[in-house]
Chain A
Amino acid sequence: MTTFATATTIDDAVAAVAGGARPVAGGTDLVVGARQGKAPLPESLVAIHRVEALRGIEPTGQGLRLGALVTHAEIAADPAIHAHFTALADASAIVGSHATRACGTLGGNLMNASPAMETGGPLVCFGATVELRSATAARTVPVAELFTGPGATVASADELLVAVDVPQVADGTGSAYVRLEYRRQMEIAVVGATAVVALEEDTVSTARIAITALAPTIRRVPEAEAALEGTSADTGDVQRAAAAAAAAASPISDVRASERYRRAMAEVIARRAIDAAVTRARGGSVPIPASGSAA
């Protein structure tokens, strides 16, 4: 039997969570998972979708603050995210279908902690942090340290993710998220890669490269970043960085792809992500989502 309450304030929500309730926002993982038979609905639910304080995308002076309830549709349509955090727009634009994107939230996407989810790679590469709130405390955790394994995070059961802070990027930065997919909608990465590339003159000053659905958690690959930094990001440089990203993969075989296929595709997808990020950093146009018709 399930009990259900609707919170309208963050205090109400964290109090319910402290009492053992699990939060539900868009339900696009929790309720779908129950329908699929992955896990039954929790005994006690607190709906947080009416908590106004968890909404909105706001500039902070140091970057953007996204409330936990910001939907993928909102991210994919936000001009500031298009301009500065393009890889995040790439990611949210391809989550599920337009119904999933209208309901599904950034907070839920992160806390579901799938190693195949789309927004994690971009947020890790942008150096984003999350604010976790309990009834008695609040703490800030880098997204890079949030995930501990498939479906697992460092958050304790009484903590609620309330916001995501994405720090401003340097001028001359381009970014992209690309995934391998079988279907245009209702898909999740078979293999994914994120690249955030900053150019000074024509040289890569900073590179951030992460792999998705290729390891127990989404992770950056320092060897790939080192292979690109200091170069002019020509074809050979991009190829070497993509190969380094693929070399860090430790994929599994599952219903969507074999380990061998994922390994073979890792380099291809990483190369496409880096190419798209470099093109954007140079001022060229790559439509959002980068995984679209061209991929």
Chain B
Amino acid sequence: MKVAATLTVNGFSYPVEVEPGASLLAAVRDTLGLTGAKEGCDDSECGACMMLLDGKPVNSCSYLALQAEGSEITTVEGLANGGELSPLQVAFLEHGGVQCGFCTPGMLVSATALLGTNPQPTEDAVRIGLSGNLCRCTGYDGIVKAVLSVAANADAV
């Protein structure tokens, strides 16, 4: 039986009706139509579904939608400021951090969380921090360079 709940995603409150066992990913993609976050492995191995829950990273495929009620959810769609891409999104484009694009939403959200807790990570910290996110195209190098460039620019400001 479906349960009514309110999900707050990227600053907007959405009334939803979901099955108790529904994942946050399914609710956001299928019910709200925000398809940025991807379903990769569906059991927390790949990070393609990553969202922020009150600013902290969560594998939304394996988190119950109903548990997210009362929290602020951020998806990749919420990283841009209006029509303007975030510095991290721009850096991914500039450094070749995007190829097929499937891992990109999770990578961006994961890297946003990483820089939130560690604004000046070492390359090793970036590689370890993002290793819960799998990419089969880029070889990770462009992604790591992109994250480090944002950290470096933050330092310069």
Contacts and interface: CB of A to CB of B under 8 A. Distances in A.
A293 B1 contact: no
Interface string A168-204: 0000000000000001111000000000000000000
Contacts of B1: 1
Contact size class for B?
Answer: 35 or more
A253 interface: no
B89 interface: no
Interface in A5-64: 6, 24, 27-28, 31-32, 34-36, 41, 45, 47, 49-50
B147 interface: no
A186 B44 contact: yes
A41 B45 CA distance: 19
B70 A73 contact: no
B110 A99 contact: yes
B157 to A, nearest CB: 25
B21 A27 contact: no
B132 A96 contact: yes
B29 to A, nearest CB: 15
A81 interface: no
Contacts of A47: 64, 66-67
B44 A4 contact: no
B56 A4 contact: no
B79 interface: no
Contacts of A184: 127-128, 131
Contact of B21 (A34, A97, A100): A34
A293 B127 CA distance: 11
B62 A32 contact: yes
Contacts of A103: 53, 56, 58-59, 63
B128 A185 contact: yes
A98 interface: yes
A4 B61 contact: no
Interface centre among A4, A27, A32, A98 (most CB of B within 10 A): A98
Contacts of B21: 2, 34, 41
Interface of B: 1, 3, 19-21, 23, 42-45, 47, 50, 53, 56-59, 61-64, 66-67, 69-70, 110, 113-114, 117, 124, 127-129, 131-133
Given A2-B19, A32-B44, 7 more contacts: A6-B66, A28-B59, A31-B23, A100-B59, A103-B53, A184-B128, A292-B128
Which 10 pairs between the two chains have the least Cβ-Cβ distance? A97-B132, A4-B20, A102-B56, A99-B57, A185-B132, A35-B43, A185-B131, A2-B20, A184-B131, A32-B62
